[in-house]
Amino acid sequence: GEDVEQSLFLSVREGDSSVINCTYTDSSSTYLYWYKQEPGAGLQLLTYIFSNMDMKQDQRLTVLLNKKDKHLSLRIADTQTGDSAIYFCAENGTGTASKLTFGTGTRLQVTL
Amino acid sequence: DGGITQSPKYLFRKEGQNVTLSCEQNLNHDAMYWYRQDPGQGLRLIYYSQIVNDFQKGDIAEGYSVSREKKESFPLTVTSAQKNPTAFYLCASSISRGDEKLFFGSGTQLSVL
**Residue B24 pLDDT greater than 70, yes or no:** yes
Whether the link from the prior residue into A39 is cis, omega within 30° of 0, is no
Per residue in A94-104, pLDDT (tens digit) is 655 457 889 99
Taking residues A23-44, report their average pLDDT.
90
- Per DSSP, what are the bridge partners of residue B36? B44, B89
Tell me which residue in A35, A98, A103 faces B99 most closely, judged by beta carbons: A98
- Residues contacting A39, CB < 8 A, separation 6+: A85
Where b means 16+ CB within 10 Å and e means fewer, B67-101 reads ebeebbebbbebeeebeebebbbbbbbbeeeeebe
Cβ contact B107–A42 (<8 Å): yes
**Residue A16 pLDDT greater than 70, yes or no:** yes
Taking residues B102-108, report their average pLDDT.
95
Cβ contact B42–A4 (<8 Å): yes
Q: Smallest CA–CA separation between B89 and chain A, in Å?
A: 9
Cβ contact A44–B99 (<8 Å): no
Q: Which of A 18-37 lie inside 8 A of B, CB atoms?
A: 31, 33, 35
Give the residue from chain B lying closest to A31, CA to CA.
B100
Residue to mutate among A43, A51, A91, A104, with most B CBs inside 10 A, is A43
CB contact at 8 A, A93 and A28: yes
pLDDT at B33: 95
Cβ contact A42–B33 (<8 Å): no
Where b means 16+ CB within 10 Å and e means fewer, A15-24 reads eeebebbbbb
Q: Smallest CA–CA separation between A66 and chain B, in Å?
A: 21
* A1 CB neighbour count, 10 Å cutoff: 8
Cα separation, A29 vs B9, whole angstroms: 34
**Residue B32 pLDDT greater than 80, yes or no:** yes
CB contact at 8 A, B36 and B60: yes
Per residue in B41-90, pLDDT (tens digit) is 889 999 999 999 999 999 999 999 999 999 999 999 999 999 899 999 99
Burial of B61 (0-12, 13-18, 19+ CB in 10 A): middle
Q: Smallest CA–CA separation between B40 and chain A, in Å?
A: 6
In 3D space, the residue among B93, B95, B101 whose CA is nearest the CA of residue B33 turns out to be B93
Tell me which residue in B31, B40, B44 faces A98 most closely, judged by beta carbons: B31
Q: Considering only A56-65, A67-76, A85-94, B30-39, which range has the smallest mean pLDDT?
A: A85-94
pLDDT at A100: 86
pLDDT at B34: 96
pLDDT band at residue B1, thresholds of 50, 70 and 90? low
Taking residues B23-27, report their average pLDDT.
97
pLDDT at A51: 86
Average pLDDT for chain B: 93
Per residue in A37-64, pLDDT (tens digit) is 998 899 999 999 998 889 999 999 999 9
pLDDT band at residue A1, thresholds of 50, 70 and 90? low
pLDDT at A12: 98
Tell me which residue in B42, B101, B103 faces A102 most closely, judged by beta carbons: B42
Residue B26: what are its φ and ψ, rounded to 5°?
-120, 30
Percent of chain A with pLDDT over 70: 94
